[in-house]
Homo-oligomer: A and B are copies of this chain.
Amino acid sequence: MYGSGEAAALSIQAYRDFRTYAAAVARHRPRDSVVLAQGSTLQDPRFVPCGRKPVAVVLDVDETALLNVGYEYDQAAQKRSYDPKRWSDWEKTGVRAMRPLPGAVAALHAIRAAGIRVIFNSNRSHENAAYTELALDAAALGPARHLKELFVTGDAPGGSAKDSRRALIARRYCVVAMAGDQLGDFSDLFNAKELPISGRRETVMSGKIARLWGNGWFVLPNPVYGAGVKGNFDDVFPIDTRWGDPAGGQ
């Protein structure tokens, strides 16, 4: 899946959708952004108002804007599990084997040409922020200057939970569209501990949240890691969808 034609097509499609939507909405200066306001729930989402703030889009970095192809190769080839030190080494040394997602460069170019700011909200480490700036520049996705167009872990409270960084960004900008590969790239509410995987999927498909997908919130596919690939059997396959061959075949 990682290197497939299908994945490239999905990416080009999502970025076209993202770019077209952002340009159309920015022309009409919406009343509300697509960043959830404090006090929202997934059943009753409310959005930070735009006021007169300059228009922007917000993107995650890893597997949304940048493909960490070299890292994933090494992980798979050596059958490694996640090691924070190795990931940190990758952030510092892997620039040459990172690639922009298909469609990303053209989309961000068009978005900036429309006068819309591009802001990155990443869980990459604070100590390696300068390397991440460099990686985004090298992939023709920049500028991504730390604390101007790039926010990383530690730039606001909450660690790898992104809501406080989103709030910081939404105080400065009218965020008209966001892109990410995991639900936490849109709201920490999706990662609430009490929400089981099937419940998480239900909230995605319900109410006002359901209307945001492809309509302010844009998802890129990531089958390799993260919340999208968690879950044991019973989480992924609810009991009413199970089936064994009634003919009794082995």
Q: How close is A162's CB to chain B, nearest CB, in angstroms?
A: 15
* Count of interface residues, chain A, beta-carbon cutoff 8 Å: 75
Q: How close is A11's CB to chain B, nearest CB, in angstroms?
A: 8
Does A219 sit at the interface, judged by CB under 8 A? yes
| Interface residue ranges, A against B (CB under 8 Å) | 1-10, 12-14, 16-17, 69-74, 76-77, 85-86, 89-90, 93-94, 96-97, 99, 102-103, 181-183, 190, 197-198, 200-201, 203-205, 210, 213-215, 217-219, 221-223, 226-231, 233, 235-238, 240-247, 249
Q: Which of B1, B85, B93, B181 contacts A6 (CB 8 A)?
A: B181
Q: Which of B4, B70, B204, B249 contacts A197 (CB 8 A)?
A: B4
Q: List 13 A-B contacts (CB under 8 A).
A: A3-B231, A4-B228, A4-B229, A8-B205, A9-B204, A13-B218, A72-B237, A77-B233, A89-B246, A93-B245, A93-B246, A99-B241, A103-B213
